[in-house]
A and B are shown apart, each in its own frame.
Chain A
Amino acid sequence: MTFSLDPHSRIDSPVHRLPAAAKLAAALAILVATVSTPRAFVPVSCVLLAAAALSRIPPLFLLKRLVLLEPLALGVAILAIFQPGGWRIFALIVIRATLCLLTVILLSNTTPFAELLRVFRRVHVPALLVTTLALMYRYLFVLIEESERMRRARACRTYGGGRRSTWKSLASVVGRLFVRSTERAERIHAAMCARGWK
């Protein structure tokens, strides 16, 4: 495995030890409070900072994630300036979006995805969706690595080439990736049946 999606979700801290259901519920409550009233900004940021400190996740990592995702929010928020009282709305939205982002980043980095799935199953999310999510999470790395290998193989065998050929070969990489995914799914099905899945 060359990289991990949520590298800090398995370290040990008071926040990590909390049950996943509690964290998910708390995150949802925080999000709803943040979105519904500006008066929640101060208490919410205190709670988030406390959680971040207790979680022992390197602050630099959290900051990096935030900076990475903030432009997406800013891009939409800029449109809010062009209306009466726009700057106030803009500031409001940016603070709101940042607090919400930090909440979700903290949730995803203190809770392993498998535990969230267990919560989903308990609240009667359709089993088909939970299975799909579990398999997707499991094979994400595999497929990303596979596509990276195919891309590298192509880069090794072609010199230069215009934009047209780049698009064409990239598309064939994607097409090939789909074919390989269906073949892999068949093998996985056989393996699941062999282990008693019905």
Chain B
Amino acid sequence: MHIPDGFLDGKTMVATAALSVGGLSLAVRQLRRQLPRRRVPLMGLAAAFVFAAQMLNFPIAGGTSGHLLGSVLIAVLLGPGAAVLVLTAVLIVQCLVFADGGLLALGANLFNMGIVGGVGGYAIYRGVQRLMGGARGVIMGAAFAAWCSATMAAILAAGELAISGTAPWAIVFPAMVNVHLLIGLGEAAVTVLVIVAIQRTRPELIDPSAPASGPLSNRQIAGYGLLISLGLALFVSPFACAWPDGLEKVAAALGFSHRAAIGPAPMANYRLLWIRSAPLGTAIAGAVGTLIVFILAFVVARVVTPKAATESR
């Protein structure tokens, strides 16, 4: 998921960096006002926690193992503003100390995993949690949001790579997204198990109505919403239409067909006709998968929510 250096072109790096700086400054401004002074060290400790948690490997089939990414977990535990700050710190240390994820690609990685994964994931979590209510809603929201955050980050990364002309969308979209549909399931499972474990021992740490970094104001919600939709508009929507002819038509009608020169990827789409259906197939599979995961999250929430937590609410 970490995009290394050398894969993105200039305009993509500048655009993602601008989006990330915008998101980070929103988060810092909110925390400066709302984060109690005694919680400041918690940000550093939470970042170290995410890092340490990522080093614990969960066994999957056949000797392979996966690990937690933690965007949604930390957003559920600390709130969206803190999640952006913590994930920024984690990504900077991973990049500067371990050379994992590029320095110039830091903006892209931060946007995909920190802002879309953290704040976008938190929005989904809160939506589902309000819908369901109570401790069960926390579990279901976290499960669904964790899966969505991995998938969304993969879709954005695919769009960024395609727009940079690194790989054609028809290849990079199915390759990235299909893998992360599965990774998302693991992420959801680990996130839920960890939240259940915390709910059992310290239920007061998870209070969805009062996150540690304070609730979001309407202006902040609008700010994050704008940033995320800008990112989607820039990196995903040029490819999102599965029928290139339609896209072409719209572009011609609006008189900006020269914009097709934005990268070599859309051209490659036409030439490789034999794989043109691959993104459409992935998109349909994704839509069906989303529905299934939503139902799955509901079932999981019914089964694993600790009794004590449901009674106390």
A residues apposed to B, CB below 8 Å? 5-6, 27-28, 31-32, 34-36, 65, 69, 72-73, 76-77, 79-80, 82-84, 89, 93, 96-97, 99-101, 103-105, 107-108, 113, 116, 126, 128-129, 131-140, 142-144, 146-147, 151, 163, 166-168, 170-179, 181-182, 184-186, 188-189, 192, 198
CA distance A147 to B89 in the complex (A): 20
**Interface check B100, CB cutoff 8 A:** yes
Q: Which residues of A contact B202 (CB under 8 A)?
A: 179
**Interface check B146, CB cutoff 8 A:** no
- Closest Cβ neighbor of A80 among chain B residues: B167
**Interface check B5, CB cutoff 8 A:** yes
A selection of 22 A-B contacts at a CB cut-off of 8 Å is A32-B104, A65-B99, A80-B166, A84-B271, A93-B6, A97-B7, A100-B104, A101-B4, A104-B99, A132-B85, A132-B86, A135-B43, A136-B51, A140-B48, A140-B93, A143-B49, A147-B55, A167-B58, A171-B194, A175-B193, A175-B201, A178-B198
Partner pick for B168 among A77, A82, A177, CB 8 A cutoff:
A82
Q: Which residues of B contact A137 (CB under 8 A)?
A: 93, 97
Q: Known interface pairs A82-B272, A89-B166, A105-B99. Does A171 touch B49 (Cβ–Cβ under 8 Å)?
A: no
Number of residue pairs across A and B with beta carbons under 8 Å? 244
Do residues B46 and A181 form an inter-chain contact, with CB atoms below 8 A? yes
Do residues B104 and A31 form an inter-chain contact, with CB atoms below 8 A? yes
Number of interface residues, chain B, beta carbon within 8 A: 78
A189 to chain B, nearest CB (A): 5
Q: Known interface pairs A83-B171, A147-B56. Does A108 touch B99 (Cβ–Cβ under 8 Å)?
A: yes
CA distance A138 to B103 in the complex (A): 22
Do residues B42 and A185 form an inter-chain contact, with CB atoms below 8 A? yes
CA distance A113 to B68 in the complex (A): 25
A75 to chain B, nearest CB (A): 9
Partner pick for A100 among B5, B166, B196, B197, CB 8 A cutoff:
B5
A175 to chain B, nearest CB (A): 3
Partner pick for B5 among A35, A173, A182, CB 8 A cutoff:
A35
Interface of A is mostly: helix
CA distance A117 to B39 in the complex (A): 21
Do residues A104 and B41 form an inter-chain contact, with CB atoms below 8 A? no
Q: Which 4 residue pairs are nearest across A and B when measured between Cβ atoms? A: A135-B44, A175-B197, A171-B193, A100-B5
CA distance A170 to B39 in the complex (A): 27
Do residues A79 and B167 form an inter-chain contact, with CB atoms below 8 A? yes
B258 to chain A, nearest CB (A): 21
Q: Which residues of B contact A93 (CB under 8 A)?
A: 6-7, 166
Q: Known interface pairs A5-B98, A136-B89, A136-B93. Does A96 touch B49 (Cβ–Cβ under 8 Å)?
A: no
Do residues A104 and B167 form an inter-chain contact, with CB atoms below 8 A? no
CA distance A189 to B38 in the complex (A): 6
B53 to chain A, nearest CB (A): 5
Partner pick for A174 among B37, B197, B205, CB 8 A cutoff:
B197
CA distance A108 to B4 in the complex (A): 15
